[in-house]
Amino acid sequence: TPTGRVRIGSFATAIRALLLPMLDHAAVSHPGLHLTIEETEERAGLARLRRGELDLVLLERDVHSLTTAPRAMADVPLLDESWLIVVPPEQPAPSTLADLVRATWIDLDPNTAGAEALVRLSRQLGTPLTTHHVGYDYDVVLAMVSFGLGYALLP
């Protein structure tokens, strides 16, 4: 039975969707294990992992990313989610590629897999996408979409 402290660094969405829901189960199934969760950005989390200040870091990666794990570390895929286009509730769903080109989009933190996916979509459409707002957290981006501020590309 594993025991001791495990320090986990993660981005906000994974904390809410993955780590928090499993805390109760972990406490019951591994009572000697003490999980410490810390919200962190990727670069800072990896630096702290290298220094031994964190034991595990959850990162967001786009499947087309060329980024690989630093030396002496391993990438272990946890989830593989599709990218979805989220449309404001008062707008009709896009039915053509031209609808996507004409839409206003919510840009994403440039250091995220979401930003990489949005750039890839723009390239596939053959034109830059119009963006007016930027979100750094997917829940904030969803709120922006719900208020009609634009389309979003989210996992």
Q: 153 CB contacts (<8 Å, ≥6 apart)?
A: 83, 84, 85, 86, 105, 108, 114, 117, 118, 121
Q: What is the assigned CATH class of domain 4-57?
A: alpha beta
Tens digit of pLDDT at every position of the chain (155 positions): 889 999 999 998 899 999 999 999 999 999 999 999 999 988 899 899 999 999 999 988 777 766 677 778 787 878 888 899 999 999 999 999 999 999 999 999 888 888 999 999 999 999 999 999 999 888 999 999 999 999 999 98
Q: How far apart are CA 55 and CA 123, in angstroms?
A: 37
Return the domain boundaries, the chain. Answer: 4-57, 84-154
Q: What is the assigned CATH class of domain 84-154?
A: alpha beta
pTM > 0.85: yes or no: no
Q: What integer pLDDT is reported at residue 66 of this predicted model?
A: 62
Contact 85, 100 (CB under 8 A): yes
Q: Would you say the CATH fold of 84-154 matches that of 4-57?
A: yes
